[in-house]
Structure 1
């Protein structure tokens, strides 16, 4: 009996000693592994160790070269995960509470990035996946380290699955022994996403927008590039990505990019939001609502959606007949005219007085010294018209010479400028407000995203563009096929909201070289650059990101863009066209003529009214009048009457 008690006591002491050594080594391995991450870490531990062992682990972490904090919990709490990228969950599968803890973490999707897990597995003779995590979905974005004692040496491995229904893949992170400490394998020094980019031909769901039934068959051939160009470019830009991942592609087709209606997303964004698809097959615009469900990776397209128009004639924005001279020149001309009127009046008055004293009669060829006559004489000189009267003196003739010579030069300069301005175009349309207030007609390429954005825009200027220019009340909304819209752009002052890269390709087919000059672009959307998007929380997110950036660096995106899209045409023969003068160009002159005719009629009526008022005035006024008899001879009176008639 005594020998049995002694034997069992010895066995107990040996096992306790071995267990203490094992726990001590466990602590060293944990500290060394966490130190090897070389980044801030807050350990959240769910261990069934003794308080002494927990205390020793805490001391070991805080006394390390790069101190780390540790917190022992029995369940998960949201306030423990303020900075999830710093969290390392530490568990021991030998503890009874481990299974419940893991199930709760799985329900909260804590096995994906950026969370990290460190699992202490039971000692065994071979590396194996702990039974407690065998049914968990730890996909390529997970970072789960499993520590296992094998033959007096610790093996640290990362375990994940390519897809939930696939087998486990085990990566060796390193080994730890009492003699050598931690030895990290060479391939473990690569980025996690780079190591796991080989998906072994697993299928990845891609949501693709197809608005024309023939587009799917034309994805490879690209016979009709102007039909669904965004989808076709996305297909060719994602092909190298799937080759980089060694994955197969599964298509999910839709006819909408994806918008929210009644709280539910539909279309391509709907497929990403509900997890049906992992990546978008066509680029998307960035919106605040979409960012809750998708993540934007890269900007593969150089093209964007904007209003495209040719610079309209200058007369569409300005009164051409005020542009030849600057404002200061007009002020100088007006001042010069006023000075001439005064000077001509003084000269005419002086000459009329001299002629009257010398000839004692009237000379019909002499300018009458009245303000109205002098003003009309100056206006005749300005408009290069002749006059039946003139000044006879040397001073007067010199003034007339200066008057006609100055206005001859001004008239020549003005006329030449008008001819140039009639062939000029305006570059004053720079903003959406300018576009709204311009005389340009507006149209929109008929695509699902254009119809959505224009019909649902709330910003005042953009809303006014849709209601006044695109879909005015009582008329059909101006949504055009791309080719039809580009042809209208060629024929008249017109602005088309379209995909620029495809519109420029259509222009290459229909436009003459001189018609490619003066092209202007104005963005309607606040952010008109489309981005490649993936599902938020996708386990392949980092692999997608690396592959998409690789496509950009290797020029694969640029190659696809050059095949499907065209750049803005270069203007090489701007002076090769002649524009006929239209009614818009003559509008100010016709308006001036109309105002002049109206003013002439009004003045005629005023003169008639004034003449009749004089004839109807009473002669006597109630008082006796003396009768004055003209004693002028009859012949002289007749001569005066003839002069008066002239």
Structure 2
């Protein structure tokens, strides 16, 4: 119970009026720690002390989490104590108890009985036997032995202990208390009753005590055990945090009992439900699952360490470049396309002038080709389709040869770029705003309540617009998917899945082929929030748990947990060539171009009919 190292003591003599009045009954001081107070009713002024403590509500847990141990010379049991008559000197305590105001542990023990009591929860042993079960014990120096007189004792399972103890019979020095081989301090001053206040003890051994913890299981159907590594994508934050709770158990020698909830719990009508509600009602002492750092929980929990970050985002496969852009105009820049157009016009003009000159000076009966026929000749050469006829003139052949050579070089560059673009992904979608304006279908991970909270609490204009357009307008049944179903839809492309990133990476690594992992991209919906471990607001374990968890962090245990339970973003490993089939999405721009050409051809066709009729009418008039 006490450390063997040097301890600072404060003594209070209840027979001394000044010492008695100086004893602090400040409620706010008591609220900082869980305290054990031992009182012997034979001591003068002990009843006054208890009455004053009762007036200050020190028997009510909400005001002061105190364990009371009261020694009396009368042989009474706890049951008898609760039903004592009006002459009982502890009536004022029983009144509080009957009104259910007495929420702290109260133990009344007959001092005439010799017994062993333990610092952890134990069952009553058989009469005359010591039921120590390897637990540390403190033995009081009294006369008889009867273990059955121990009613139930849970005492001082705290990191810091403030203990006030009356004097015992065989201690001779007030200023130099004795410490036995178990580290137990005894002291006395004859018949005087002293109070000893120790405010510097740090306990690191809870003697196998039982501490209640709460955890979450968002996916109860898929949940196996809280330490199952094979299903890391299922409730991973409960599993990661529980690993450190287990280390705490071994470090501080206590046992935990875990109660599971299907949600962490958020404030509603002024109170919390699920895990947070259990901590608020003191039914759970510590969260054995990760809880988000939220300001609305500051009033009910203390966050003792925040070692993890929760990543929630949209995971999708970057759309192929042909699905978002016309790749058939991408190989060349605008300047190159303009240059090719100018070259085409120059060649047509040159060929036309050459025919005019030949007709005027050499062959006056030569029939000139119309412009459309000439354009088709030049276009066939540029597109590597050859010419419909060979010219007899050397000048013609020279210009056509250089035209074919220029077109060949351009063709090589163009076709090489097209092949590259067909297998390229697009980086056009990189923000939430891009997703909102794109044709990507969006899905949301089911059975992950934080995503619902994220939707409700979205405040940024772009995020609210995204949720409204991509999720709310489509209905819940059309956007919520199980993890595996959502990840499989990503493989088809043009689908983004809103998921906890760690679970998403794990499933992608398991189900995607190497070449399918290339182009996987994520967009964070919000900055990664902290995932913390929390204890109840008035918990006396807060400081020792925080100290030991910081020690775990400093020794790299949390880093080990992250590597064990988390998955990195899948890497693109393309060791060998992979053949990718060209689909409709990649070549749809070709059909669009053809459609434009067909429309233009139809328009020209009707225009030619109209012009032909006008020419016929004019000929008839002249005839």
Q: Same fold (TM over 0.5)?
A: yes
Q: CA deviation at 1:410?
A: 0.7
1:235 alignment partner in structure 2 = 242
Task: Describe the SS at the equivalent of 1:506.
Answer: helix
CA gap 1:295/1:321 in 2 versus in 1, 3 angstroms: farther
Offset from partner CA, 1:187-237 (integer Å, 9 cap, x none): 99xxx68x2333333333322112344677623555644433332333222
1:469 alignment partner in structure 2 = 470
1:306 matched to 2:313:
yes
Q: Distance in 2 between matches of 1:541 and 1:442?
A: 42
CA gap 1:485/1:602 in 2 versus in 1, 3 angstroms: same
Q: CA deviation at 1:306?
A: 2.9
Contact conserved, 2:159 with 2:204, CA < 8 A, in 1?
no
1:156-555 correspondence runs (5 A): 195-213=202-220, 218-220=225-227, 224-301=231-308, 304-325=311-332, 327=333, 330-342=334-346, 344-363=348-367, 367=369, 370=371, 374-388=374-388, 393-453=393-453, 455-456=455-456, 457-473=458-474, 476-555=477-556
Q: Which of 134, 137, 143 is equivalent to 2:65?
A: 137
CA gap 1:444/1:575 in 2 versus in 1, 3 angstroms: farther
Whose Rg is larger? 1
Offset from partner CA, 1:83-111 (integer Å, 9 cap, x none): xxxxxxxx96533xx68x83xx42xx443
Task: Describe the SS at the equivalent of 1:601.
Answer: helix
Task: Describe the SS at the equivalent of 1:356.
Answer: helix
Q: CA deviation at 1:279?
A: 2.0
1:89-104 correspondence runs (5 A): 93-95=19-21, 102=25
Q: CA deviation at 1:345?
A: 1.2
Q: Distance in 2 between matches of 1:260 and 1:515?
A: 42
Offset from partner CA, 1:302-333 (integer Å, 9 cap, x none): 773333333332223332223223x2xx3134
Offset from partner CA, 1:42-94 (integer Å, 9 cap, x none): xxxxxxx9xxxxxxxxxxxxxxxxxxxxxxxxxxxxxxxxxxxxxxxxx9653
Contact conserved, 1:444 with 1:479, CA < 8 A, in 2?
yes
CA gap 1:545/1:591 in 2 versus in 1, 3 angstroms: same
Offset from partner CA, 1:427-478 (integer Å, 9 cap, x none): 4433222333444433222123245135413433333433433454367332
2:582 alignment partner in structure 1 = 581
CA gap 1:615/1:287 in 2 versus in 1, 3 angstroms: farther
Offset from partner CA, 1:93-135 (integer Å, 9 cap, x none): 533xx68x83xx42xx4434599xxxxxxxx99xxx9766685
Contact conserved, 2:219 with 2:235, CA < 8 A, in 1?
yes
1:111 alignment partner in structure 2 = 30
Task: Describe the SS at the equivalent of 1:309.
Answer: strand
Contact conserved, 1:514 with 1:576, CA < 8 A, in 2?
no
Q: Which has the higher contact order (CA 8 A, sep 6+)?
A: 2
TM-score normalized by the length of structure 1: 0.64
CA gap 1:582/1:215 in 2 versus in 1, 3 angstroms: closer
CA gap 1:436/1:576 in 2 versus in 1, 3 angstroms: farther
Contact conserved, 2:309 with 2:529, CA < 8 A, in 1?
no
TM-score normalized by the length of structure 2: 0.66
CA gap 1:320/1:540 in 2 versus in 1, 3 angstroms: same
Count residues in correspondence. Answer: 483
Task: Describe the SS at the equivalent of 2:435.
Answer: helix
Contact conserved, 1:284 with 1:530, CA < 8 A, in 2?
yes
Q: CA deviation at 1:239?
A: 0.9
Q: Distance in 1 between matches of 2:228 and 2:388?
A: 81
2:144 alignment partner in structure 1 = none
Q: Distance in 2 between matches of 1:446 and 1:92?
A: 66
Q: CA deviation at 1:412?
A: 1.8
1:563-578 correspondence runs (5 A): 563-573=564-574, 575-578=576-579
Contact conserved, 2:319 with 2:494, CA < 8 A, in 1?
yes
CA gap 1:375/1:450 in 2 versus in 1, 3 angstroms: farther
CA gap 1:259/1:606 in 2 versus in 1, 3 angstroms: farther
Q: Distance in 1 between matches of 2:461 and 2:499?
A: 21
CA gap 1:155/1:460 in 2 versus in 1, 3 angstroms: farther
Q: Distance in 1 between matches of 2:329 and 2:302?
A: 55
- Structure 2 residue runs of 5 or longer lacking an equivalent are 1-7, 10-15, 35-42, 67-155, 187-197
CA gap 1:152/1:580 in 2 versus in 1, 3 angstroms: same
Offset from partner CA, 1:353-387 (integer Å, 9 cap, x none): 233332220246xx55x5x5554444333322334
Contact conserved, 1:210 with 1:216, CA < 8 A, in 2?
yes
